[in-house]
Amino acid sequence: MAAARTVPTVIAGAVLMTLAAKVQIPFWPVPMTLHTLAVMAFAVAFGPRVAVSIFLAYLAAGAAGLPVFSGSPERGVGLAYLAGPTGGYLAGFLAASWLVGVLARGRGAIGRLGAMLAGLALVYAAGMAWLAAFVPAGQLLAVGVAPFLFGDLVKIGIVAAAGAVLSSLLARLRDMRR
């Protein structure tokens, strides 16, 4: 992707990432945001370089004090938010942006799904490692994974299904032009 197109894509992606973080879908036991969906969709659609750039721009905006994160400004802003209990998940999303982008490249629907599951495992591993500074070890899964796992799997399924439909649609459009 040429630089003239990459910069607007990264800016638009950071804005969409912010919107995804702010969307609160009523869900049990905790409200669900669309963070995971956005991270995975950007990684699958744009590859590791652009996906990481989008998430770095998003993190930079948040570190600078803009209320881009879920629960901000109510739960804090800037570096204080990044150092809080969700900081590890944000670092995991950054790493997953790269991992999913690399693993999904050139893969079919099943390969992209596997890439996203690997990315989600990385998000949870980084998140729980950081969360251990705030929550007793015996409660990490109950607090840091269980409330979010089903919703995250649904979001990954949505990205996988959308990717399969879009791939099929694009293939048909290419065939019609021939």
- Split at pLDDT 50, 70, 90, the class of 34 is very high
Strand partners, 25: 32
pLDDT tens digits for 76-119? Answer: 899 999 999 999 999 999 999 999 999 999 899 999 999 999 99
pLDDT tens digits for 150-169? Answer: 999 999 999 999 988 887 76
> Which residues have CB under 8 Å from 178's CB, separation 6+?
none
| pTM exceeds 0.85 for this model | yes
107, 146 in Cβ contact below 8 A? Answer: no
- Split at pLDDT 50, 70, 90, the class of 170 is low
Packed helices 109-131 and 87-104: angle between N→C axes, nearest 10 degrees: 160
49 pLDDT higher than 90: yes
176 or 127: which leads in pLDDT: 127
d(CA 138, CA 105): 37
With b for 16 or more beta-carbon neighbours within 10 A and e for fewer, the 138-171 pattern comes to: eebeebbbebbeebbeebbeebbeebeeeeeeee
Domains of the chain: 3-177 (1.10.1760.20)
Of 3, 14, 8, nearest in space to 93 by CA = 14
Average pLDDT for residues 71-77, to the nearest whole number?
Answer: 88
The DSSP element (H or E) to which 104 belongs, if any, is helix 87-104
50, 42 in Cβ contact below 8 A? Answer: yes
Average pLDDT for residues 42-65, to the nearest whole number?
Answer: 96
Q: What is the gyration radius of the CA atoms in the chain, in angstroms?
A: 17
44, 54 in Cβ contact below 8 A? Answer: no
d(CA 144, CA 32): 13
